[in-house]
């Protein structure tokens, strides 16, 4: 079988990096093919970002209804049908996947379903699940956007029943009576919140000395306080050394990093949420001699996204952290524009916001207080608790705060950290402020609608400058 069609650009993978790259390339008048081995939208739309937010909304709603009495509303006979919760989540994912299908047609992107394998630096063989070749296509430029998957730990791999990755967990219609969550990053924290909200007994084990270790220390402390109030067991500074499958579920051995003491935990299921690894296998990259980093990600020029082979580019999770859908989408646009001759500077990764959608939500952009000090900045720190917010009190969500880090010398906003209700919606203002190199004086002279949660950002900036009004 020979080459049956030539394109200007082939994109491998249809997640938030791949499908965005395909659309932007089409807008720039390229003839584009998008190769996808499963469902359009990739992990994010089908098994990650979107369906997990549907689960989280159900969990949040269930929890709020339990406290409806505080708002003068009496609710009796409250119960949850977890299978329907998951079914709604799948319906949301299906609609979004179909939305990407519509966008491909609208933008005249040719979608080719199958598994991509490089024949050479400009040619791709597309095969079905059995390995039978369906067709061969070629392009002047090829973008790899194949994403990442749950990272298996030594002697601990998902089996789909007792030991779960996020893909198995997101579609599991039976609520576990108890769960061990291994890893306290975004995935682990979100599943722990969902399961706990519906009555599961949850324990989280985190190797670092605090949960959500990539966030500011104050954020970690605040969320840890709330999780403990919910009844979630937090075992930080510890590692799971062994997991056995039993008649009742799993039995795990947890070892303290501090004193090597051991603790045995028995649960119905374990969730592996200790990071991800890139999807590079099966592409025939070794035949091409494409360079990988020591962690297995594809090595790229972080301005152009070009790999060690001139015609091949890589974006998103497969090209390395941070593993965020919105980072992949921004890289997609920059990559396509660059290879089209529209030069873009390298992305400032410190301006990529982070968001975790448990309750309270966690969001941040820029440097943490610890990072700023380590870089030699003299900082002014401002903090505004939601307990002091009229809007937060009115809606019954007073947990958390907004914290800002300001460079004392030049007044530059270095970082913003938010814990609380709708924190992930609020972080955009701080991200834009930092992107535009705004200074506290401009933020304080910008009128914020009252009453809103977003006023807390302005109040935190005022606190950093010693001008706080409401605290």
Q: What residues are labeled active site?
A: 450
CA 346 to the chain's CA centroid: 21
| Cα 404 to Cα 177: distance, rounded to the nearest angstrom | 40
Name beta bridge partners: 118: 124
Alpha carbon distances (Å) from 411 to 229, 379, 438, 441, 456: 38, 9, 9, 9, 19
| Cα 112 to Cα 135: distance, rounded to the nearest angstrom | 9
| Cα 443 to Cα 184: distance, rounded to the nearest angstrom | 33
The count of other CB atoms within 10 Å of the CB of residue 436 is 10
Angle of helix 82-106 versus helix 49-66 axis, rounded to 10 = 140
| Cα 237 to Cα 390: distance, rounded to the nearest angstrom | 37
Instruction: Tally helices (H) and strands (E) across the chain.
Output: 14, 22
Q: Which residue has the tokens 């089409």?
A: 26
């Amino acid at each position: 079988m020979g080459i049956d069609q030539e394109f200007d650009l082939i994109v491998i993978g249809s997640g938030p990096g791949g499908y965005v790259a395909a659309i932007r390339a089409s807008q720039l008048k390229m003839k584009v093919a998008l190769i996808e081995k499963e469902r359009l939208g990739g992990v994010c739309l089908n098994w990650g970002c979107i369906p997990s937010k549907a689960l989280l909304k159900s969990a949040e709603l269930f929890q709020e209804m339990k406290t409806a009495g505080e708002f003068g509303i009496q609710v009796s006979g409250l119960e949850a049908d977890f299978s329907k919760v998951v079914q709604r989540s799948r319906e949301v994912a299906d609609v979004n996947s179909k939305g990407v299908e519509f966008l491909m047609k609208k933008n005249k992107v040719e979608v080719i379903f199958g598994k991509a394998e490089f024949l050479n630096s400009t040619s791709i063989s597309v095969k079905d699940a059995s390995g039978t070749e369906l067709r061969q296509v070629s392009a002047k430029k090829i973008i790899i956007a194949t994403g990442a998957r749950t990272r298996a730990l030594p002697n601990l791999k998902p089996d789909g029943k007792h030991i779960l990755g996020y893909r198995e967990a997101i579609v599991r219609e039976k609520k576990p009576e108890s769960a061990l969550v291994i890893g306290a990053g975004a995935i682990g924290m979100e599943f722990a919140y969902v399961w706990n909200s519906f009555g599961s007994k949850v324990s989280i084990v985190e190797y670092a000395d605090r949960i959500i270790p990539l966030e500011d220390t104050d954020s970690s402390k605040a969320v840890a306080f709330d999780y403990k109030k919910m009844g979630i067991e937090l075992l930080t500074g510890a590692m799971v050394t062994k997991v056995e499958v039993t008649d009742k579920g799993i039995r795990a051995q947890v070892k303290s990093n501090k004193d090597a003491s051991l603790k045995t935990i028995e649960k119905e299921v374990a969730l592996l949420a200790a990071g991800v690894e890139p999807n590079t296998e099966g592409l025939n990259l070794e035949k091409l001699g494409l360079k990988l980093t020591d962690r297995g990600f594809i090595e790229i020029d972080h301005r152009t996204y070009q790999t060690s082979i001139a015609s091949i580019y890589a974006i998103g999770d497969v090209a390395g952290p941070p593993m965020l859908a919105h980072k992949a989408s921004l890289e997609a646009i920059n990559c396509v524009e660059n290879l089209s001759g529209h030069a873009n500077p390298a992305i400032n990764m410190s301006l990529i916001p982070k968001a975790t959608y448990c309750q309270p939500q966690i969001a941040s952009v820029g440097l943490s207080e610890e990072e700023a000090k380590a870089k030699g900045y003299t900082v002014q720190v401002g903090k505004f608790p939601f307990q002091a917010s009229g809007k937060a009190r009115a809606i019954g969500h007073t947990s958390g705060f907004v914290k800002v880090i300001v460079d004392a010398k030049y007044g530059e906003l270095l970082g913003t950290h938010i814990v609380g209700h709708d924190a992930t919606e609020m972080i955009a203002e701080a991200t834009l402020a930092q992107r535009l190199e705004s200074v506290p004086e401009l933020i304080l002279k910008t009128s914020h609608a009252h009453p809103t949660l977003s006023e807390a950002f302005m109040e935190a900036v005022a606190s950093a400058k010693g001008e706080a009004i409401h605290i």
